[in-house]
Amino acid sequence: MSGVLPVLMYHSVGPVPRGSRRRAIFVGARAFERQMALLARCGYRGVTMDEAHAVLQRGTPSREKLCALTFDDGFLDNITTALPVLRRHGHRATCYVVSGRIGQRNDWSADVLGVSLPLADAGALRDWVDAGMELGAHTRTHARLTTLDKARLEDEVGGCKRALEDRFGLRVSQFCYPWGAHDDRVVEAVRNAGFEGATTTVRGRARTGVDPLRVPRVHVLNQHHLLQFWLKLETRYGDRA
């Protein structure tokens, strides 16, 4: 595991809603509990992306077994369901928030998923932060950044950072590309906005020296049983599946 720091990607933690067309992003509460317990039993400490960034960029592996935990979109169940589990097992995590949709619903993906889900409101997100977790930026509206002109791109990226920092009174250093869509122009906009790190949807375990604005992640999906979860952490299976 020398030089490897897996970054796990979650979305919703809870049952698959009736009518959903995409079961994969819904990791059940019981499965999530078992995954977080396994991390702790295997000696891992779950960390935020800000902490992971510091380890990955110093060029030497941590003496600890670290695993970054990330949640895309800011669904309410990240706080109501996932947060108590994270606290119980001593893990920290990053929730990437769509700043213009706080307290609303996932209008950008409702057609794709077949369901409309509640997003965390400001009070829930403050509970997340007060519990020692991190807020990351996920644009203002969950726009596909590679399709935007320069002005709109800068507003979606930098505007999200400013909105979250102003609203919650904290530093937001980490970004996540909606839909995983990024290219050189988008990455430069993220850098210019002042972000220190950004995660992609590219499959793979992160390693020391990785491009901080193109960090790959390990996808954790509804269909993954506990053995697969462990293999994704500990073996090269996590670099391709």
pLDDT tens digits, one per residue of 89-111:
999 999 999 999 999 999 999 99
Section 171-189 average pLDDT? 98
How many structural domains is the chain composed of? 1
pTM for this entry: 0.96
Q: What is the DSSP string of the chain?
A: -TTEE-EEEE-EESPPPTT-S-GGGEE-HHHHHHHHHHHHHTTEEEE-HHHHHHHHHTSS--SSEEEEEEEEE-BTHIIIIIHHHHHHTT---EEEE-GGGTTSB-TTTHHHHSS--BBP-HHHHHHHHHTT-EEEE--SS---GGGS-HHHHHHHHHHHHHHHHHHHTS---EEE-GGG---HHHHHHHHHTT-SEEEEEEES-EETT--TTSEEEEE--TT--HHHHHHHHHSGGGGT-
Q: If pLDDT is split at 50, 70 and 90, which confidence band does 153 have? A: very high
Segments forming the whole domain that contains residue 139: 4-239
CATH number at residue 95: 3.20.20.370
pLDDT at 201: 98
| pLDDT over 80 at 61, yes or no | no
Mean pLDDT, the chain, rounded, equals: 95
135 or 62, greater pLDDT? 135
Q: To the nearest whole percent, how much of the chain has pLDDT over 70?
A: 97
Residue 114 has phi, psi (to 5 degrees) of 85, 0
